[in-house]
Structure 1
Amino acid sequence: MTNSNSTARSQALFEEAKQYIPGGVNSPCRAYLAVNDTPRFIVRADGAYIYDVDGNEYIDYIGSWGPMILGNNPPQVREAVQEVIGNGLSFGAATEREITMAKLVCAMVPSMEMVRMVNSGTEATMSAIRTARGYTGRNKFIKFEGCYHGHSDALLVKAGSGLIANGGAPDSAGVTPGCAQDTLTARFNDFDSVEKLFEENRGEIAAVIIEPVGANMGVVPPAEGFLRKLREICDVNGAVLIFDEVITGFRLAPGGAQELFGVKPDMTTFGKIIGGGMPVGAYGGKREIMEMVAPLGPVYQAGTLSGNPVAMAAGIAQLTWLSEHPEAYEKINRLGEKLFGGFREILERARKAGRTKACCTVNSIGSIGSVFFTETPVTDYASAKTADIAAYGDYFRAMLKSGIYFAPAQFEAMFLSAAHTDREIDATLEAFGAYFGE
């Protein structure tokens, strides 16, 4: 790479954006506040690379926050979108592609019997909880500290990701205590905390919602047997188990985390991953639960853009390709093992050499992972919060200067794609090793 490392154009655009957009960005994680830098304004992405307005090229480990499993701008998805837009961008009416997409999702996801398309992961999780409440006739639900399920009011309680630094409950101004009073929080990987909440709220809990792999407090895999115990306690108490697979769906396996771990939830939520990065989401699960949704049942949910033909075309192209090419999962998992395993080896050598800034923990599963700037093993929200945010910022800026585009926040995940190759992994490990003194 021959980057100039100039950021003059990005800096100018950011200053202009701040005059018209709160904080200069349309999503807080783009602001680079957590890494004390200026956001890069992007003009193009292709394969494993992304390019900014100053002409810099980066190896991309964000992938639009996860959905680009095939890499950026994959031709099969791009061509599907180009074909459909000639007929119109939005109809607000039923299309055949919605059926094709629904059948594809139900075929790939082990627990899915019916599915409803929406427009984002936030809308999917909000709608799933409402449906679970309607189905059970109960009001309360359990979520886990550090798991982020979108920005609907009741879910902004110890919600992880960009909110970790804020603390408190609820985590956002404008969320009333009344909105959050039925939100119960348990500790990730701590089944005793879940049992205690069920005991204290007997007969009142409608649902348990969880990221089966925590990916918004950094990547935190579930402890052995933890998800299965959640399945059992929900069965005993008549509660709906919801897997938020906005990050893990179709990424850890064709059927997501539930296929990988062999645990079937009652409901599952998805985000942009089912649309190849387009603005789309979905929620679904058992037929008897989904038949509660209007127009069949009394749980109301609607949206003009739900099942948008452009998003459906993109999603069908990506999911069809993934279902027909299981070798893609072998590739991205192998590359994940090489990258994150390489990080661990470099850090171990640096620790043996007495380099103090190598006090890091690396968590990963398959093609996603995180480097935490803490020596503490990260297994939940509390241990994730021991990470040194300033140290991560130093690391982020150094890697960005080396042409490596990581998430501009300690508590976000890294994502690999099928477009990455050993070339990109080797270059990343070289830059990583150089930062830690090799």
Structure 2
Amino acid sequence: MKYLDGMGALVGQVSPTAAGQLYAEARQSLAGGVTAGLRWHPYLGRPFYATRAEGPYLYDLEGKRYLDFNMANGAVLLGHGHPAVNRAVQLGLAAGILTASETEHHVSLATTLCRVIPCAERVRFAVTGTEANLVAVRLARHVTGRRKLLTFAGHFHGLAEPFLFRAAEGTGSDVPVPASGGVPDTYGQDLVIVPWNDPDAFDRALARHRGEVAAVICEPVHYNAGCIPPLPGFLAHLRQRTQEEGIVLIFDEVLSGFRMALGGAQEFYGVTPDLCTLAKALASGLPLAAICGRADLMEHLSPAGPVAHSGTYTGQLLGVLAARATLEALESPGVYVELGRRAARFYDEAQSIFDRAGIPARIQGLGARFGLYFGRREPVVTWAEAVASDEALHRRFVLGCLKRGLYFHAYLGLPGHAGFSLAHDDDCLDHALNVIETVARELARQ
């Protein structure tokens, strides 16, 4: 695939650079030339190959340094290679990389999560966010005796069959259709999809499927669409209506967890779900997830109850130790006050840059994650508005930033999300704003 990036450079072809040569080799052994589909950068036409990471920075194959505004898809909130996390992992290595064993560290981490996460009376560890969400839904179906799952358009809950659906276009209904090859449409029979931030549509769906819905699952902040916060009162409405209907409310806090408050979106908005799932920022880039929730629900998990969940790598020690170090750092006094100050300043100034340059762009952020929407100036409140963004303008912006050492990832056909870490101090953010202003002015001239 070849195309012009809007700045005169040909992108998307294998070049004689080290990255191009490595990609050519990768395509001979790796499916699609990558180890995960979303690691292919659609604007580069290949993956971004990194050699190391440190603090707020990534380094490519040729040693060029980039200020990272992806941060491992949001998994690294403290910064790459945080000293406390590194020390914790070294302790795990010294212990022999204990796998499939319970330790005191598992108990300590679970105790901490029960203290800081509002809904957490019990905790069960998992490996990925996908696994955690599957277990949460399985648990809800068992305790309610119902089958159907209600989700929201564009919300991402993992790459497993129950979640790989989208709302059928042009039907005017909540009929789901597969969003991936190989997913039988029969899975969609137990799925209801409604628009985010639309309480009337939500209520109508509950009425149509009364007595059938086991769980409502949502991203309490729709970061998979960049950053679409809930409208005032919307989460409280979900809480009230699910309680009235005997439905389990699940907050998928894989992305929102720890982002704007230690207790995640549920603490920030003051709405407590029955269950929540955590991953990404929990262990500073190491694979670890968690299901948290009410004791009367969680005790249905095996071995106490009949709901199956286990795994050799469940709660792997290195991730548990990294998570303990991460939470200790996040509990330091003033962390979230400072994070909020940096975030508000950065988002305000970035928006001002686009406005001054006359670029139709909207930046929406909450805590350390944000979305960029090109081609519009109004707030984005729905998935439909997010996917209607100007992708060509977004591509030109991202490539302009990459040339100047500011790394944004891109997701083919999706709005995507970006973000920073606690390692991004004011100097880093000032540098990012300077790059953004340079690129915005160049786009305006074109």
Superposed, which structure 2 residues align to 1:67-146 within 5 Å? 67-146=75-154
Task: Give CA deviations for 1:339-385 in whole Å, capped at 9, x if unaligned.
Answer: 2111110111122xxxxxx1112111122111111215311111111
SS of 2:430's partner is: helix
In 2, distance between residues paired with 1:223 and 1:411?
Answer: 19
Q: Contact 2:225/2:371 (CA < 8 Å) preserved in 1?
A: no
Question: Who is 2:441 aligned against?
Answer: 437
Question: Who is 2:399 aligned against?
Answer: 397
Displacement of 1:326 in angstroms is 3.6
Superposed, which structure 2 residues align to 1:266-415 within 5 Å? 266-323=274-331, 325-351=332-358, 358-375=359-376, 376-409=378-411, 411-415=415-419
Paired-residue identity, %:
35
Q: Contact 1:248/1:257 (CA < 8 Å) preserved in 2?
A: yes
Q: Structure 1 counterpart of 2:152, which letter?
A: F
Q: Structure 1 counterpart of 2:353, which letter?
A: I
Q: Structure 1 counterpart of 2:431, which letter?
A: A
Q: Which moved more, 1:268-277 or 1:108-117?
A: 268-277
Work out which of the residue numbers 251, 264, 268 in structure 2 matches 1:243. 251
Q: Contact 2:40/2:48 (CA < 8 Å) preserved in 1?
A: no
Task: Give CA deviations for 1:9-44 in whole Å, capped at 9, x if unaligned.
Answer: 1111111111111211122221012x2533221111
Q: Please say if 1:182 is aligned against 2:190.
A: yes
Q: Contact 1:118/1:281 (CA < 8 Å) preserved in 2?
A: yes
Question: Who is 1:214 aligned against?
Answer: 222
- The structure-2 alpha-carbon separation of the partners of 1:271 and 1:129, relative to structure 1 and needing over 3 Å to count, comes to same
Q: Please say if 1:22 is aligned against 2:35.
A: no
Question: Who is 1:3 aligned against?
Answer: none
Q: Contact 2:57/2:66 (CA < 8 Å) preserved in 1?
A: yes
- The structure-2 alpha-carbon separation of the partners of 1:32 and 1:7, relative to structure 1 and needing over 3 Å to count, comes to farther
Question: Who is 1:427 aligned against?
Answer: 431
Q: Which moved more, 1:214-223 or 1:255-264?
A: 214-223
Q: Structure 2 counterpart of 1:237, which letter?
A: E
SS of 1:419's partner is: coil
Q: Contact 2:176/2:191 (CA < 8 Å) preserved in 1?
A: no
Count of aligned pairs between the two proteins: 418
In 2, distance between residues paired with 1:359 and 1:29?
Answer: 27
Task: Give CA deviations for 1:393-425 in whole Å, capped at 9, x if unaligned.
Answer: 111111011100112236221112111111111
Work out which of the residue numbers 60, 82, 99 in structure 2 matches 1:52. 60
Work out which of the residue numbers 252, 255, 260 in structure 1 matches 2:260. 252
Runs of 4+ displaced beyond 4 Å: none
TM-score with structure 1 setting the length: 0.93
Q: Contact 1:231/1:263 (CA < 8 Å) preserved in 2?
A: yes
In 2, distance between residues paired with 1:61 and 1:250?
Answer: 17
Q: Contact 2:277/2:290 (CA < 8 Å) preserved in 1?
A: yes
TM-score with structure 2 setting the length: 0.91
Displacement of 1:114 in angstroms is 0.3
SS of 1:436's partner is: helix
Q: Which moved more, 1:254-263 or 1:299-308?
A: 299-308
In 2, distance between residues paired with 1:79 and 1:91?
Answer: 19
Question: Who is 1:233 aligned against?
Answer: 241
Question: Who is 2:7 aligned against?
Answer: none
Q: Structure 2 counterpart of 1:115, which letter?
A: V
In 2, distance between residues paired with 1:119 and 1:320?
Answer: 21
SS of 2:165's partner is: coil
Aligned CA-pair RMSD: 1.6
Q: Contact 2:176/2:193 (CA < 8 Å) preserved in 1?
A: no
- The structure-2 alpha-carbon separation of the partners of 1:168 and 1:52, relative to structure 1 and needing over 3 Å to count, comes to farther
Task: Give CA deviations for 1:42-98 in whole Å, capped at 9, x if unaligned.
Answer: 111111111111111000111111121111100000011012211212331221111
Q: Structure 1 counterpart of 2:232, which letter?
A: E
Q: Contact 2:71/2:79 (CA < 8 Å) preserved in 1?
A: yes
Task: Give CA deviations for 1:156-187 in whole Å, capped at 9, x if unaligned.
Answer: 1129xxxxxxx972100111011221111010
In 1, distance between residues paired with 2:245 and 2:155?
Answer: 22
Displacement of 1:327 in angstroms is 1.5
Displacement of 1:134 in angstroms is 0.7
The gaps in structure 1 that reach 5 residues or longer are 1-5, 160-166, 352-357
Displacement of 1:7 in angstroms is 8.0
In 1, distance between residues paired with 2:430 and 2:287?
Answer: 33
Work out which of the residue numbers 201, 224, 231 in structure 1 matches 2:232. 224
Question: Who is 1:9 aligned against?
Answer: 18
Q: Contact 1:90/1:305 (CA < 8 Å) preserved in 2?
A: no
The gaps in structure 2 that reach 5 residues or longer are 1-14, 168-174
Question: Who is 1:164 aligned against?
Answer: none
